[in-house]
Structure formats: C-alpha cells, structure tokens
Amino acid sequence: MHYEFTVSTKSSEELIDITNNVEEVVQKSDTREGVCIVYIPHATAGIILNESADPNIKRDFLSALDRVIPRHAGYLHDRIDNNAHAHIKSAIVGSSVTIPLSDGHLGLGTWQAVMLCEFDGPRSRRRVVIKIIPASA
Ligand code: ZN
C-alpha cells in the first residue's frame, strides 16, 4: 500500500518529528503486523529515527554533522547551486527507515521518533512516501 504526505520546512536545516503523520497512515492502512517503510524522494533531505523529546538532540545532531561536513569547503557542486553539503548530509543520513508494525502500531522504541532531516530549506513541499507491507499470514 502506497501513501504520501507533504511537509513544509522553515529553516535551512532542521529536524521535524513526523511520527504522528506516519502513525496516522498506519492507522488508515488497518494493518496489524508487517513493516512500514518511510522514504523521502529528495536529494538534500533525509529520514532518521532518533530522540525528539529533548530538542537539544536535534541541534546537537545538526551541529555534529556540520563539523564533519561543513557548509562551504570548496565543493565542486557549489558552482552550480551552492548546496553540496546538503547532498552529502542527505546521502550519509539516508533516504529511508524501516519500522516493524506491532499490533497495528509503529513498533518504535520509547525514545525513538521518525524525523525528517531538512538540509537545504526552507522548502514548501517535501514529499514523504510511506509503503506498508503487511506480513503474510
Ligand atoms: Zn544541488
């Protein structure tokens, strides 16, 4: 089953908790057991699972990535659209996560949230694609 929703981002870089949006899709699908794939079809954004309760984790995550992949480091792609760092961060973070479904809900750990990673915002329309694969009986 294929589902999709969009998220608008407000900063050049930010993490947005989309757990509730994904859980809502799981509810709509009426699937008890299986897996849920959350995928973002963009080259300068990503999807991660991590803690969202303490907002400082989001800031720490972005600043740690920035230390490893600085915004300007003489990237060749910056001659075209000045966002090479966002492409590299997106590739390292990854474009999807797979979450087991348990009893009709996302089987996340207590401190896990699904987060969209914006690396080249703000963007009015980031697509998030959800595939729900029911377990075969
Ligand atoms: Zn680019």
CA 78 / ligand 1 centre spacing (Å):
7
User: What is the mean pLDDT, run by run of 10 residues, along the chain of 137 residues?
Assistant: 95 98 97 97 98 96 97 96 97 98 97 98 98 90
What's residue 137's pLDDT? 65
CA 50 / ligand 1 centre spacing (Å):
26
- Taking the model in full, what pTM does it have? 0.96
What's residue 1's pLDDT? 82
75-112 exposure pattern, b = at least 16 Cβ within 10 A, e = fewer: beeeeeeebbbbbbbbeebebebebebeeeebebeeeb
CA 33 / ligand 1 centre spacing (Å):
39
CA 1 / ligand 1 centre spacing (Å):
31
Domains of the chain and CATH, by start: 2-134 (2.60.120.460)
What's residue 126's pLDDT? 98
What's residue 53's pLDDT? 93
